[in-house]
Amino acid sequence: MSREYWITRFHAAVDEAVKPVEEANETRLNCKAGCADCCVDGLTVFALEAEEITRNYAELLVTEEPHPDGGCAFLDGSKSCRIYAHRPYVCRTQGLPLRWIEEEDDEAYEARDICPLNEAGPPLEELAAEECWSIGPFEERLAREQNNGERVALRSLFDQRRRLPLVR
């Protein structure tokens, strides 16, 4: 299976898996167009996803400027995502109640977090596990497919593309 086809199927699987978590939390989620609090500078994505963005937005990367420092390079002037249709995994799960396993002093425990804009609602510790997005399984699939776990800063995609001529 080609990498391009694989990442498209992967993102579709993430979107499908996210739906029940979104539905379970619909009254607390305030994420919508123009809300960009989680769209910060310094985000990195797997190289496989960076290739997807580069492939689908080559012209944007050459002809447009990145959003000013402090926000994700792919935000536009109204704080909307310019690559929303091909946004990476991390962007597809932002804002949801998250759960993951931490280890401290040889003991494992479950940690949870949520965007501060989405805190209103039942305390996170009272949510059923399936009402939270579990960090780990999908990231592991990405890392396995990529083989090396290399990550790329989103902002750097603008720099890399400026070195190459635009092919039409």
Spell out, as residue ranges, where the chain has pLDDT lower than 70: 1, 160-168
Q: What pLDDT is attached to residue 167?
A: 47
Q: What pLDDT is attached to residue 119?
A: 86
Beta bridge partners of 23: none
Domain ranges in the chain are 3-162
CB atoms within 10 A of CB 52: 23
pTM: 0.85
